[in-house]
Amino acid sequence: MPADPLHSAGNPQRSMTSQPPSGLGVSAIEVRRSARRRRTVSAYREGDRTVVLIPARMSEAEEKRWVTVMLNKLAAQESKRVLGDAELTERAERLSAQYFDGRARPASVRWVTNQNTRWGSCTPAEGSIRLSHRLQGMPEYVVDYVLCHELAHLLVPGHGPDFWRLLEAYPRTERARGYLEGVVAADRLPHPPGVRDE
């Protein structure tokens, strides 16, 4: 595991939180306590894991609160990053190499604003993939899932068993589908939860 040069002094105590706070979309959280750290809390992504650095003296309740704060902060920072069409194409090529042995070769990958009922679409004959602009700002694993879904259509046009077997190569398929289902369900609510008519 690569060392974090900004926080490598001393031997921090480590603890794993196997279940992150619900709704935060993180698979694993590692909390590192350091006696040298007095007041500051920081966090960063390390693969599929989020590392949260806290002072050693912090109570368990403070730790839980700060983990939630830092996960929300990281998610907000990540949601501001929007990929351009060229970056989207590079990402699709990388995903194809990683999950489909490079066999799915899109001719074009781009954002579109005219897809309000679909997350993505693909025209296998042309090799074109289009992603709805509504995905912009969603977690990277969700965008990657939609890209993988459309890449799989370049190899298998329909939604039969062969298609779903192919898509199983992407390890976060179920999680991303759950996220998108939640977004659709939230859009159907009459108003945001917790908001009352006055």
Tens of pLDDT, residue by residue over 100-129, are 999 999 999 999 989 888 999 999 999 999
For 197, residues 6+ apart whose C-beta sits below 8 A from its C-beta are 191
Amino acid identity at 107:
A
Alpha helices, H only, 36-83: 60-80
Tell me how far apart the alpha carbons of residues 170 and 84 are, in angstroms, rounded to a whole number: 23
> Mean pLDDT for the chain?
81
Chain segment 50-103, per-residue pLDDT in tens: 889 999 999 999 999 999 998 888 877 766 666 778 889 999 999 999 999 999
Chain centroid, CA 34 distance in Å = 28
pTM for this entry: 0.58
Tell me how far apart the alpha carbons of residues 135 and 115 are, in angstroms, rounded to a whole number: 11
Note whether 132 and 142 are within 8 A (CB): no
Taking the alpha carbons of 193, 146, 94, 1 in that order, is the dihedral positive or negative? positive
Residue predicted with more confidence, 190 or 150: 150
The first and second tokens of residue 105, run together, are 């070769």
Residue predicted with more confidence, 192 or 32: 32
What pLDDT was estimated at residue 186? 83
Model confidence at 179: pLDDT above 80:
yes
Residue predicted with more confidence, 175 or 39: 175
Tell me how far apart the alpha carbons of residues 175 and 189 are, in angstroms, rounded to a whole number: 21
The DSSP bridge pattern shows strands 49-55 and 28-34 to be parallel
Note whether 52 and 67 are within 8 A (CB): yes
SS3 category, 119 = coil
Note whether 142 and 179 are within 8 A (CB): yes
